[in-house]
Structures are given as C-alpha cells and as structure tokens.
Structure 1
Amino acid sequence: MPKQDRSRATRQRLLAAAVACLAEHGWAGSTVAVVAERAGVSRGAAQHHFPTREDLFTAAVEYVAEERSTALRALFPEGAQDDRRAVVAALVDLYTGPLFRAALHLWVAASNEEQLRPRVTELEARVGRETHRIAVELLGADESRPGVRETVQGLLDMARGLGLANLLTDDGQRRERVVGQWAALLAQTLD
C-alpha cells in the first residue's frame, strides 16, 4: 500500500477509535495512548497525525459528523417531502448513537476546559448549521415562510433532547410517539 494510503488509513483508524473511546470512557478515560492502542498504532503515530489530545478528539467528532451527514443524505437521495415521518425518525436517530454520546462527553469536557471550549463551540456551530441545512433540504422546508425555520430548529432541539433521554434508558417507545407527533406538526407547518 502506498505511503499516502497507509497514512490516510491510520488517520481514519485513529478517528474511529477516538470516537469509540470517548463514547465508552468519557473525556477523562480517553487519552491519546488509549486511542492509539485501540487503533493499533503507536502513540508517536497518533501524535504525528494529531499533535494534541484536543486536535484528536475534535477532529474525530467532526469526521464522524461529516460521515453521518453523508449517510443521512444517502438515505433520501431524492429528498423526502412525501415521507416526513422517515426524515424525523432519521434525524432523531442521529442523536441516539455513539457519535452523540462521544460529542456529549466532548461538550461536558469543554464546559470545564478553557483551551477546549472555543474549538468545541465552533465545531458544534458548524455541525449544527449543517444538520439544520440537511433537515431543511430533506423536509422541503421553505424557510422564507414565518415560523418554518424555528419549527425545523425545534425539531433538531427535540431530537437532541430525546438523545439525552436515551442515554439513561431505552426510550424507544416514547420516541416513536414523539416522532409521529413531530411529523404531524411538520405537515401542518410546512404544507
């Protein structure tokens, strides 16, 4: 394998391992050494790609968020205005997996660590804007209409809240009812 391909593969293994470690062990338990071991690379190789712990974890959450956005768009290549319930369910699913858990640990760490806070705040703003843009696209929402932008943002805020509730218990049944209700609300607001 060419050197550039090996380097790219090492970087991707490190990013995936960082998200998994953060989701499983939180910020305190996720060191560069732990991530490097999980990725099957040396600590030196990890630090070559990501000089600081903050670089590694913010890059990992950003990388997986981009992958998640691509996967979400791929679910609905033609848009999904006719099946808003499916879009609402897919958006809610964004907040119930390991990426959300990892991002949450990063947010909590950033609330206590001055050097991490600006990076995470900027990352969250970018990811939030992209998720909003995807939601608008998939729902076929016309944000020039009064209340539509706020309704889409409310959907994303609700999805994040459901993700938080899901961290402690399996909230699947309630989540299904809420998804149905939001799909109905969107039908009223967007049509």
Structure 2
Amino acid sequence: MTTAERLPKQDRSRATRQRLLEAAVACLAEHGWAGSTVAVVAERAGVSRGAAQHHFPTREDLFTAAVEYVAEERSLALRALFPEGAQGAERRAVIGALVDLYTGPLFRAALHLWVAASHEEQLGPRVTELEAKVGRETHRIAVDLLGADESQPGVRETVQGLLDMARGLGLANLLTDDTARRERVVAQWADLLDDALG
C-alpha cells in the first residue's frame, strides 16, 4: 500500500485539489491563457484530466479558483511575516513585501487571466468579481500592516496609491528585471508614507 493510499479519501482529495490549484497558477504564469488547458494543468499536477474535472468542472472554475487560492495563501504569508504590523523601520519592509505581491508568478498568472477575461465572455464577470475581492483584501492587509488610520483625510488614497504603484512596478518587471529601480522607488515610497501616515 502506498502512502497516498493510506491517506483518508478526504485528505487525498484536498491534496489533489491543492496540487491542481498550484499547478494552474504556475501554468498560467508560464504559458498564458492560450497555453494553459485543463489537460496541461492535470499533467503538471500529476493527476488525470478526469480528476481535474471532478474538482473543477470548467476551465474557468479551475483558473479563477487557482488565482483566488494562491492570493489567499500569499495574504496569510504576508500577515505572518508582520504579525504586529509595521513598527518604525519595518514600514519599508512591509512596503517591499506588498510590492513583491505584484512581481511574482501570482501577478503574472492574474495578468494573463485579466487579459483573457477582457475578451472571453464567460470569464469576464468571474475575474471582475475575483479582482474586486482580492483587491479589497490586499488593501485591508496594507492598511493593517502599515498601521494606517483611514479616518484621516487622504490616508485611504495614499494606501491605494501605494498598491497602484506596486501594480505598475509589477508590469514593468514583466519584460525586464526591474529590481534596482524598484528598490529605489520602494525606499522613496517608504519615506513618503512615513510623512503621510505619521
């Protein structure tokens, strides 16, 4: 009997689902929407296409669930990095971590999903809803970790400006390694946020 066979059925199902979600994001980041089929994801995850379709009946189900799952995992990891939020000099590290959300495979995968949603009728509403949900959660995390008081005039817009800037840095990083410039921009934004947030 193999290790997989000894696991309870529910645990095996959960593990299969997780492998599919992670493989879907990786495929989307590497191959884009056109190159990321359910069969490609299933092969990468090491499961049958039937198993993939058991968990996710449609391609849209698979990829929207995958981006949502990985976004949630990244949010949990980000909060774990700064359980007490930003204290003094840590604000720069928090800003750097927020910017990193937009420079990795998750952002690249989400971008491919957004582009596909712009011309795939059945995908558009789902991605719009997903993006709104992920955007709200990312904003909430930024507010919490930065210790931002949104009751103060301009603070909400300042935090949103940081996230919009981070998205722009993520786009710039898609074609070339933008690390050096990004580090300078993050340092400048940390100084600006110190002034704006107190």
TM-score by length of 1: 0.99
What is the RMSD of the two structures over their aligned residues, measured on CA atoms? 0.5
* Structure 1 residues 117-156: aligned runs within 5 Å: 117-156=124-163
* Runs of 5+ consecutive residues of structure 1 not aligned to the other structure: none
CA distance in 2, matches of 1:80, 1:145: 18
* Runs of 5+ consecutive residues of structure 2 not aligned to the other structure: 1-6
* Shift in Å, 1:158: 0.2
Indicate the residue corresponding to 2:81 in structure 1.
Answer: 75
Residue deviations 1:116-169 (CA, integer Å, cap 9, x gap): 000000000000000000000000000010000000000000000000000000
* Shift in Å, 1:35: 0.4
Residue deviations 1:84-119 (CA, integer Å, cap 9, x gap): 111110000000100000000000000011110000
Q: Give the counterpart of 2:49 among 43, 66, 77.
A: 43
Indicate the residue corresponding to 2:178 in structure 1.
Answer: 171
* Shift in Å, 1:46: 0.3
CA distance in 1, matches of 2:46, 2:179: 35
Residue deviations 1:164-189 (CA, integer Å, cap 9, x gap): 00000000110011001100110111
* Shift in Å, 1:68: 0.2
* Shift in Å, 1:78: 1.1
CA distance in 1, matches of 2:56, 2:116: 18
* Shift in Å, 1:40: 0.6
CA distance in 1, matches of 2:191, 2:141: 19
* Shift in Å, 1:56: 0.1
- Report sequence identity in percent: 90
Other structure's SS at 1:167 match? coil
CA distance in 2, matches of 1:104, 1:148: 27
How many pairs are equivalent? 190
* Shift in Å, 1:26: 0.2
